A = this chain, B = another copy of it.
Amino acid sequence: MNALTTPLLTDLYQLTMAEAYLYAGMEESAAFEFYVRDLPVNRGFLIASGLESVRRFLENLHFSSQDVAYLAQTGRFSKKLLDYLSRLRFTGDLYALPEGTVCFANEPLIRLVAPIPLAQLVETRLINLLHFETIISSKAARCSLAADGRATLVDFGLRRAHGAEAGLLAARSSYMAGFSGSATVLAGALYGIPLFGTMAHSYIEAFGGEQEAFVSYARANRNNVTLLIDTYDTLQGAGHAVKAARQLAQEGIRTHAVRLDSGDIPTLSRQVRNLLDQNDLREVGIFVSGNIDEYAIRKLLDEGAPVNGFGVGTKLDTSEDAPYLECAYKLVEYAGKPRMKTSQGKATWPGCKQIFRRSENGLMSGDTVTVSGDRLEGRPLMEKVMDNGRWLSNSPDLKEIALRVKDQMATLPEHLRRLETVPAYAVAFSSALQKLRSETLRSQG
């Protein structure tokens, strides 16, 4: 069983509910919407991400004979359910914000419409994908705002990402949101993301001499030369890098950058920059890694530290200051009737929805969430992407998605471009939706 594709990567209750739906003969159409309840403290907006992963999941959805055999031997499930699962393919409709859309709390990222046992069954993995990829794109977009074109950003987070898939998807989600590439080789292989890399301290230590290590590395990797200079003493390391770079230049090998991974970066980067400049190595950049996030990027660049690029690792790939979103995949309609829950503090809005976004002077000025079919001022954001199990278009190119994010980020109002966001962006609920809510409350009550 491949954990990335088996439908057994789900919560037990998805299967026991399917059992209950079949038992009760409930197979009518249900609409579920995925949305974020509240934005974390340090997030003024989100970048919708994960639709491509959802596409792959839904396209490939099936229970293998091995999956069904496992479920059978648990003794928990009826033959009726096992037969149903054996035949199951995704046959629903899907509406979504295109990947890379700026979005906010209470705005659906997807709406899935399918017979209820099926629509329910896919919940766990859909949340698992949309939640994580949206967290990372949103964190990465903040790093891009902080860099503001002044430095290139590279994802260095795989080693401390939460498992294999997180590391891989983080490379994609950050590239979408303005990063230049990733160190993760598999992200190059699967998504064509540009790859970046330097060398580790261990490499220098194994060699013993820094300058010798630099030269040997560069000869072996002639087109990819970034020298790590802080293994022992950064300024001494910079001196060794200068000597190595001059020697390499004579061999026709260009040194692209030096990397700092520790110490007082504002001071060290200036000292290293001066040393490089004094030695006619103006084209050698300074690349910084180690504990980098949007706050560190902003601070260093605002202070004028001469940093050309950042490796953003752990704090990106774990979304360290907001490692999860309060998100949900909620039933909004069943058998043609709107549904909602009224749990304390977790009430939901009933019915299928659309979002309209208004602009003023080229900047986003406010959204209204309304019932699907309503027509309001502004641009509707949700699109139908899947009809009866068939996708209505090919996957967009990842570069296209990155352009969409860039375009949308350019229309963010000023207060959302800050890393600390006050006041929140205005998301209203239309009168049509308010009315539907009252009616649903009455009919359910």
Chain A residues engaging chain B, CB cutoff 8 angstroms? 1-4, 6, 8-13, 15-17, 19-24, 26, 30, 32, 67, 70-71, 74, 76, 78, 116, 120, 123-125, 127-129, 131-132, 156, 158-169, 183-186, 188-190, 195-208, 216-217, 219-221, 223-224, 230-234, 261-264, 290, 314-315, 318-320, 323-325, 327, 330-331, 334-335, 339-346, 444-445
B19 close to A221 (CB less than 8 A): yes
A221 close to B76 (CB less than 8 A): yes
**Docked pose: A186 CA to B232 CA in angstroms:** 46
**Docked pose: A290 CA to B167 CA in angstroms:** 27
B197 close to A16 (CB less than 8 A): yes
**Closest B residue by C-beta to A261:** B343
On whether A120 and B203 interact (CB within 8 A), knowing A16-B221, A159-B127, A261-B343, the answer reads yes
**Docked pose: A263 CA to B21 CA in angstroms:** 28
A11 close to B159 (CB less than 8 A): yes
Q: How far is the CB of A248 from chain B (nearest CB, A)?
A: 13
B24 close to A220 (CB less than 8 A): yes
Q: How far is the CB of A443 from chain B (nearest CB, A)?
A: 9
**Docked pose: A325 CA to B99 CA in angstroms:** 31
Q: Name which of A15, A197, A204, A324 has the most chain B CB atoms within 10 A of its CB.
A: A324
Q: Using A128-B167, A163-B168, A261-B346 as known contacts, list a sample of 4 further A-B pairs with CB atoms less than 8 Å apart, ordered by residue number in A.
A: A71-B185, A162-B323, A163-B165, A206-B331
On whether A344 and B131 interact (CB within 8 A), knowing A6-B186, A11-B197, A158-B9, the answer reads no
B12 close to A196 (CB less than 8 A): yes
B334 close to A206 (CB less than 8 A): yes
Residues of B within 8 A of A220 (CB): 16, 19-20, 22-24, 78
B17 close to A324 (CB less than 8 A): no
A324 close to B331 (CB less than 8 A): no
Residues of B within 8 A of A2 (CB): 2, 4
